[in-house]
């Protein structure tokens, strides 16, 4: 589902082919108001907010590097990207701390509309599969 949250627009979904992997499409301004995103991810992954916040902050740092390297382009103050967050399977323990060292963060720098179309196509396949069952 594509969410509009004021400063952050994003879609996030678990990857059923790779358990423990979550993909997010994010379009945000550089102020990075992340509290809603953290809460939403925490609810979806059953991890506590502080654990998720550490991952999101690490992701923000990675995004900053990509922007600095010119791999992500800032247009009118907005940055568009897809980020895949790979969480080790044992992180269902709420005391387990996710860090950049044990969570693999990767960023897809394709144009956001192209990525959004891909997600919407997968979502339509899921709807069809659901109806057929």
In whole angstroms, what is the distance from residue 104 CA to residue 129 CA? Answer: 30
24 contacts 79 by C-beta, under 8 angstroms: no
What pLDDT score was predicted for residue 15? 54
Least confident of 2-6, 49-53, 72-76, 84-88: 2-6
User: What's the mean pLDDT in 91-108?
Assistant: 51
Q: How confident is the model at residue 129 (pLDDT cuts 50, 70, 90)?
A: very low
What pLDDT score was predicted for residue 64? 65
pLDDT at residue 52 above 50?
yes
pTM of the model: 0.35
User: What's the mean pLDDT in 32-55?
Assistant: 60
92 contacts 46 by C-beta, under 8 angstroms: yes
The alpha carbon of 87 is separated from its chain's Cα centroid by a whole number of angstroms, namely 12
pLDDT at residue 30 above 50?
no
What pLDDT score was predicted for residue 117? 62
- Greater confidence (45 vs 80) lies with 45
């Amino acid at each position: 589902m594509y969410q509009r949250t004021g400063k952050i627009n994003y879609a996030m979904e678990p990857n059923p082919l790779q358990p423990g992997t979550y993909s997010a499409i994010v379009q945000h301004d550089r102020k990075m108001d992340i509290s809603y995103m953290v809460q939403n991810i925490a609810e979806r992954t059953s991890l506590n907010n502080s654990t998720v916040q550490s991952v999101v902050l690490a992701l923000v740092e990675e995004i900053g590097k990509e922007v600095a390297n010119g791999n992500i382009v800032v247009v009118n103050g907005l940055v568009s990207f897809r980020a895949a967050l790979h969480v080790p399977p044992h992180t269902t323990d709420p005391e387990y701390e996710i860090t950049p060292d044990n969570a693999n963060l990767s960023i897809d720098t394709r144009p956001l509309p192209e990525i959004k179309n891909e997600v919407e196509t997968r979502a339509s396949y899921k709807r069809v599969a659901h109806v057929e069952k």
